[in-house]
Amino acid sequence: MTRVLVLNGPNLRRLGTREPEVYGADTFEDLSALCRETGRRLDLQVEVRQTDDEAEMIRWVHQAADERLPVVLNPAAFTHYSYALRDALAQRTAPLVEVHISNPAAREEFRHTSVVAGVATGTIAGFGLMSYVLALQAVAELVAEGRAAG
């Protein structure tokens, strides 16, 4: 069974209360349960994490690179400015799918640029929590194809 890290950046633990008109009413616990259940169906061992700390996120990305673990990443606000995170992600050794609950391109202009997208295998955005399901399906397919860093 392939282990996958689902990493979430700042404020995502506040799902359900933070801007529900943008992010929906589901909680971070709902998201975590959905990812774990999706992983079980896809024969993936999913570990869901969230941090508001950029350094901690970078440590997790380094761990994923060292252990050759696929990553589903919602960098949240780090998406738009964290070159340190981008540089860590560039060291990846397995598929990396950037994911967003909302569609950043349909929001404020400062959200239109992702410094992460250029080092990701692909990006899925705008489908609510279903974005994570689609990202995990992509990871499962990439792993089955044997695409290490995709």
Q: Is 30 annotated as a binding residue?
A: no
Tell me: pLDDT of 136 over 90.
Answer: yes
- Is residue 81 very low, low, confident or very high in pLDDT (cuts 50, 70, 90)? confident
Tell me: pLDDT of 91 over 90.
Answer: yes
Tell me: pLDDT of 58 over 80.
Answer: yes
Structural domain count, the chain:
1
- Is residue 108 very low, low, confident or very high in pLDDT (cuts 50, 70, 90)? low
Burial 51-71 (b: 16+ CB within 10 A, else e): bbebeebbebbeebbeeebbb
- Crossing angle of helices 130-144 and 28-41, in 10° steps, is 30
Residue 92 lies in a domain: yes
- Is residue 26 very low, low, confident or very high in pLDDT (cuts 50, 70, 90)? confident
- 81 as an active site residue: the answer is no
Residue type, 4: V
Q: DSSP letters along 89-105, please? A: HTT-SS-EEEEESS-GG
Residue 149 lies in a domain: no
Tell me: pLDDT of 40 over 60.
Answer: yes
Q: Is 8 annotated as a binding residue?
A: no
Residue 69 lies in a domain: yes
Q: Is 74 annotated as a binding residue?
A: yes
Over residues 4-19, the pLDDT tens digits come to: 999 999 999 998 887 6
Q: Is 52 annotated as a binding residue?
A: no
Q: Look at the pTM and tell me if it is higher than 0.75.
A: yes
Residue 79 lies in a domain: yes
Q: Is 111 annotated as a binding residue?
A: yes
DSSP 8-state symbol, 36 = H
DSSP 8-state symbol, 126 = S
Share of the chain above pLDDT 70, in %: 89
Domain range spanning residue 17? 2-144
Residue 150 lies in a domain: no
Share of the chain above pLDDT 90, in %: 77
Tell me: pLDDT of 150 over 80.
Answer: no
Inter-residue contact 82 to 91 (CB < 8 Å): no
Catalytic residue among 23, 62, 83, 132: 23
- 132 as an active site residue: the answer is no
| Domain at 127, CATH number | 3.40.50.9100
Catalytic residue among 62, 83, 100, 132: 100
Sheet holding 71-74, edge to edge: 44-50, 2-8, 71-74, 96-100, 122-125
Q: Beta-carbon neighbour count of residue 22 at 10 Å?
A: 10
Structure tokens, 75: 């960098």
Residue 72 lies in a domain: yes
Residue 115 lies in a domain: yes
Residue 58 lies in a domain: yes
Q: What is the mean pLDDT of residues 47-69?
A: 98
